[in-house]
Amino acid sequence: MPDPRPPRALRLGVAGPVGTGKSSLLAVLCRALSGDLALAVVTNDIYTDEDARFLRAEGVLPAERIRAVETGACPHTAIRDDISANLDAVEDLEEEFGPLDLVLVESGGDNLTATFSPALVDAQIFCLDVAGGGDVARKGGPGIARADLLVVNKTDLAPYVGVDVPRMVADAQQARGGLPVLALSRTDPASLAGLTDWVRALLARYRSGAHIPTDPGPVAPHSHSHSHSQGRGNPHHGDSTQP
Ligand SMILES: Nc1nc2c(ncn2[C@@H]2O[C@H](COP(=O)(O)OP(=O)(O)O)[C@@H](O)[C@H]2O)c(=O)[nH]1
Ligand SMILES: [Mg+2]
């Protein structure tokens, strides 16, 4: 019988529109989990390494465990179609600091349509916030509908932007057919615990071999010159030398 346990860290992606709180969510996870798990982070920014600098400044992890990938003008491409720069960053971190338990990958924050390739991450969180409007969860898209976890962030702002959080969560649940939805705010410790509990449970499933990566589906139609040939699963499993 082959050993079902994975040979490498769990790779967890965090996608969602710019400003919804992805970097803040990564900071929360690093603070909560770095005491007993070995972590590293890859950020994707369009033109800068702003997210990596933010996380280093927060001091949530040793600075060298936070790597930035500059994606250029097409941020979804770097996490979906041509994932080599991201895979290199993840594999370099694993090689330098491994064995790691968890590598977090933040997307460049394109729009509602960006999702990670399952060849890059084993699971993904899609992050919305209440400031984007209560109806955004009804707008759908692959991340909203099929990410492993949908976060409705910044619930503390709901009274200021006229959003009914229970209704937004219910709409999201309806769009997701039973997949989990988490209302989150950095001012609500119980919600932060809910997030870290979900990640720990995912890690346990991953380690036992019970977690099966699923593809939320491609981005909305767009044109570019390369092919969409990335398959499911990770073609680099156990081979850290391949780009
Ligand atoms: N009120 C409130 N603001 C938040 C929360 N989480 C993040 N923010 C703020 O939202 C802004 C964008 O957050 P950031 O993590 O950079 O978003 P990203 O672009 O998705 O990575 C920053 O000003 C954060 O301080 C939250 O729970 N409540
Ligand atoms: Mg960010």
pLDDT in tens, the chain (243 residues): 555 557 899 999 999 999 999 999 999 999 999 999 999 999 998 878 889 999 999 999 999 999 999 887 677 889 998 999 999 999 999 999 999 999 999 998 777 888 999 999 999 999 999 999 988 888 888 999 999 999 999 999 999 999 999 999 999 999 999 899 999 999 999 999 999 999 999 999 999 999 999 899 875 554 444 443 333 333 333 333 333
CATH number for 28: 3.40.50.300
Residue 214 lies in a domain: no
Q: Could you tell me if 45 and 14 are in contact, meaning their C-beta atoms sit under 8 angstroms apart?
A: no
Residue 227 lies in a domain: no
Atom of ligand 1 nearest to the CA of 17: 20
Global pTM reads 0.89
Number of separate domains in the chain: 1
Q: Identify the bridge partners of residue 81 per DSSP, sorted by sequence position.
A: none
The best mutation among 18, 20, 24 to test binding of ligand 1, ranked by most ligand atoms within 8 Å of the C-beta, falls on: 24
Please give the distance, rounded to the nearest whole angstrom, from the Cα atom of residue 21 to the centre of ligand 2.
Answer: 7
Please give the distance, rounded to the nearest whole angstrom, from the Cα atom of residue 4 to the centre of ligand 2.
Answer: 34
Angle at which helices 50-58 and 22-33 cross, to 10° = 30
Residue 184 lies in a domain: yes
The predicted pLDDT at position 217 comes to 84
The predicted pLDDT at position 193 comes to 98
Residue 222 lies in a domain: no
Q: Could you tell me if 105 and 42 are in contact, meaning their C-beta atoms sit under 8 angstroms apart?
A: yes
Residue 223 lies in a domain: no
Residue 60 lies in a domain: yes
Domain of 170, in residue numbers: 10-208
Residue 215 lies in a domain: no
| Torsion over CA: 33, 79, 24, 52 (sign) | positive
DSSP labels, 174-194: HHHTT--EEE--TT-HHHHHH
Residue 203 lies in a domain: yes
